[in-house]
Amino acid sequence: MSAFSLSHFNHSTSAAMSAHSSAPTLAPAFHPFSVASSIHISSTPSNQTGCHPDDTNIRLPLIAFYSIFFILGLVGNIFALWVFLFLQSSRNSVRVFLINCAVADLVLLACLPFRIFYHVNGNKWVLGPVACKLVGNLFYMNMYISILLLGLISLDRYLRLKGKSKARRRLTMKLWGQSWPWSWLVCGIVWSLSLMTMVFMIATAEDSEDTDRCFQYKKRRKVQGKAYFNGVLVVLFWLVFVMLVISYIKIASQLLRASRDKPGLPNAQKYKCTAKKSFFVLFVFSVCFGPYHAFRPIYILTQLSDTVSCDYLQLVDHTNEVMLLLSAFNSCLDPVMYFLLSGSVRKTALQAVGHRLGNRLPFWNDGTSNSSTTEFRRSSVAIQGMALVLPNPTPQNDNLPPSTGPCG
């Protein structure tokens, strides 16, 4: 009987110990606080410390658009630069600005393959943080150089309209024993200041240095100076934009007035078409740069804020990428602007296309004729010194036959 009791006691003890040993493994699964605790860990508040906007879902569109912009912009700007350097014999200030604008576009386009490779590689950067800063700052630097140069073109035309071209041409600088006109001097200042700014931006540390990421949303809590500098660039853009609007409205109104009040002038009816062409620069600004700089203040404020949710940051980041695409699209539209506003570019482009296509499309032949701006310049003496307001065509255009189309 005692043996049976001892055996029963041992069996009961081992069962109790077995139940006790298994309790710790089961208890957390059914503990009322364990589920809440796991939920709290997995859904931590979306503070900015661990919030990284993800561009994976827009990666393929970015690859496609940047690739298209790179090909079209490269062909167009190389062709325009070839015309300006080797085929155009005029040496006016607008030609200088257009040369520098084409160079700035080509440098910006050289940054696009790095962006394309970054997105093709699954948004992984393999060239290090310094190369990332170099490519990113080169992109923005040349974007703002293009903006400034387009503004300078409008200013140059406005000065011609006001009859101040002689005073402008007297502004020269002696360098390497040669006199350089004011346009080269201004372009040199723009490039020098831009390069110094770029070096400063590269040398300045970021809030966090991610070796495997680039072109991503960045916080500016520690380096707020960069955010404020970006704000200054936004103000600079809108000042240039206002200057363009005022300049081209005055230029267009002057052309339209000449067409209306002086119907006997050669090609007077074409001034209306020329006025419309001059607004293409405003179109470029409005479509390419306007949305980006209208949204930029919102982007900068989120960089300085600590109370923005991750979902909102994701929306801001994606919107900024779309606006940046429009800005890069400017590099494709600039050669179109050269074609519309410069008679020599039109003439060379049409010669490159060939006479066969020109004979089939009559309006193409019109591009090789005297532009209305040429006639407008010839008529300037008769209308009290009104100056040419668009880029001068090459002298050989003067010997071409008159235009057969409605809008030369």
Residue 399: per-residue pLDDT: 33
**What is the average pLDDT score of the chain?**
74
Mean pLDDT on 333-360:
71
Give the span between the Cα atoms of 217 and 55, in whole angstroms.
10
Q: What is the pLDDT of residues 321-338, one digit of tens each?
A: 999 999 999 999 999 888
Instruction: State the DSSP H helix or E strand holding residue 179, giving kind and residue range, or none if neither.
Output: strand 178-181
CATH number 1.20.1070.10 given to 56-378: yes
Highest mean pLDDT of the ranges 276-285, 286-295, 361-370, 396-405: 286-295
Whether 296 shows a pLDDT value over 90: the answer reads yes
pLDDT digits (tens, 9 = 90+) for 250-275: 888 887 877 777 766 666 667 777 77
Tell me which residue of 405, 404, 406, 408 sits closest to 390, measured CA to CA. Answer: 408
Nearest to 148 by CA among 81, 196, 100: 100
pLDDT at residue 369 above 80? Answer: no
**Pair 373, 354: CB distance under 8 Å:** no
Q: Is the pLDDT of residue 122 over 50?
A: yes
Give the pLDDT band (50/70/90) at residue 386: very low
Q: What is the pLDDT of residues 190-226, one digit of tens each?
A: 999 999 999 998 888 776 666 788 888 888 777 788 8
Task: Please tell me the predicted confidence (pLDDT) of residue 256.
Answer: 80
Of the ranges 50-59, 128-137, 266-275, 364-373, the best mean pLDDT one:
128-137
Percent of the chain with pLDDT over 90: 31
Tell me what pLDDT residue 251 has.
83
Q: What is the pTM of this model?
A: 0.74
The C-alpha atoms of residue 238 and residue 244 are separated, in whole angstroms, by 10
More confidently predicted of 367 and 351: 351
198-214 residues labelled b (16+ CB within 10 A) or e (exposed): beebeeeebeeeeeebb
d(CA 123, CA 117): 8
In Å, how far from its chain's centre is CA 101?
13
The answer on pLDDT for 346 being more than 60 is: yes
Q: CB pairs under 8 A, 24+ apart, for 402-406?
A: 402/267, 402/369, 402/370, 403/267, 403/270, 403/366, 403/369, 403/370, 403/371, 403/372, 404/362, 404/365, 404/366, 404/369, 405/362, 405/363, 405/365, 405/366, 405/369, 406/269, 406/270, 406/273, 406/366
